[in-house]
Structure 1
């Protein structure tokens, strides 16, 4: 592990005892066939992050289960993990092959999110849950104090709008599906009788419904 990386971890109070473990957490699959990558630690870190954030939200909030779940999902999302990773300076410490780095891998939400979770996995293995939870509370503070997950989901917002305006509930219809099974594209149309309709296309039916509801609210809400 590079001296710069050891110094970077030290600013969070982390002094790696098993440097190979932390090196693995920072290693992308493109780095080399002889190097174990972060995937197993990412699997573990994903669960550690979930319970750490859930515990934090439970202590902070009096909201309903649905409200807490909405915030949890936003705070542990790949995009949020990547945002935290960038803010703490993780990208320059990710170990990846030259081609992957040249292709922008060090700024990929997918890779940064995975590596961030892998580091939490390494922290859990070496330092235990309590220390890892405190680290999460330090580096996720901006997100938890912010509004991530507070805004209503577009489908919920549309349903409430329809009820509040004494309209029939929105109707979602898949009007087109294209592409192979592993890369399908769904086009969904949402309509409210006597008001209008909107449609959107995405890689899953759920995402297309969400995007269509958002467009509907922007147009008619």
Structure 2
């Protein structure tokens, strides 16, 4: 089997020459485009999630030999979550080669975070199945790159930190309210306002409610931590 021009270019961006090109084709095939003769990427996604997890666990242990499990766990979660996988997928333009059904294409599937994250995991599994763990490990470490060393900042859960700040001062947990929504249905932008019982609040917008909540919490936390009595 010979890869299409687009998939061959993607293979070069990925940094892996497939001995079994059909694996890459399967990895980029969404369920909306599968046929009896061509399977989708769901099984590969399942495997890729585990391969990615092992690579990241090893990398974190090597990066910080003295870190306790309680420090490693949030870093690990930040590196393997769907949002991070989708960010990596965007950097190598994985969305451009996804095989999608018509409805998914019309609804902006090539830009959807969940589809990109799932496909990135499937591609990792395709490399693993094609050439083994070391090949998959090399690809993952190359693609994730500086994220591994900088993960401490990414792993900070602003919502948890803000809640702890409030509790330490006898305040109830912060409230998060959706105060605006814009953009098309396939690519909405949510505005979330985080409010403390003392009346302080901050708003932020993002492409998912989770990201908007975290961004609002980050902004409010930075504000309260800058107060003299914080």
TM-score interval for Structure 1 and Structure 2 normalised by the shorter chain: 0.7 to 0.9
Q: Show CA shifts across 1:99-150 (max 9, x none).
A: 3112100011000100000011111112111111111010100322434654
Q: Deviations over 1:142-191 (max 9, x none)?
A: 3224346545323442355357xx633x54599xxxxxxxxxxxxxx997
Runs of at least 5 residues in structure 1 that lack an aligned partner in the other structure: 175-188, 201-205
Q: Equivalent residue of 2:120, what SS?
A: helix
- How many residues align? The count is 201
1:38 to 1:151, Cα distance in 2 relative to 1, 3 A: closer
Write out aligned runs for 1:70-109 (5 A). 70-109=74-113
Q: When the two structures are superposed, what TM-score results if normalisation uses the length of structure 1?
A: 0.73
Matches of residues 195-206 of structure 1 in structure 2 within 5 Å? Answer: 195=198
Whether the 8 Å CA contact 2:78–2:155 is kept in 1: the answer is no
SS in 2 for 1:140: helix
Matched with 2:58 is 55
Question: Aligned-residue CA RMSD in angstroms?
Answer: 3.5
Q: What TM-score, normalized to structure 2?
A: 0.71
Structure 2 unaligned blocks of 5 or more: 176-193, 204-209, 226-230
Check whether the contact 1:45–1:121 (CA below 8 A) recurs between aligned residues. yes
TM-superposed CA distance for 1:51, in Å, is 0.9
1:154 and 2:158 aligned: yes
User: CA shift at 1:36, angstroms?
Assistant: 0.7
Aligned to 2:136: 132
Relative to structure 1, is the Cα distance of residues 162 and 29 closer, same or farther in structure 2, using a 3 angstrom cutoff?
Answer: closer
CA contact (8 A) 1:70 1:150 kept: no
Maintained 8 Å contact 1:84/1:139: yes
1:167 to 166, 169, 182: 169
Judged with a 3 Å threshold, the aligned counterparts in structure 2 of structure 1 residues 196 and 219 are, in CA distance, closer, same or farther, namely farther
Distance 1:24 1:161, change over 3 A: same
Report whether the alignment pairs 1:143 with 2:164. no
2:40 corresponding residue in structure 1: 37
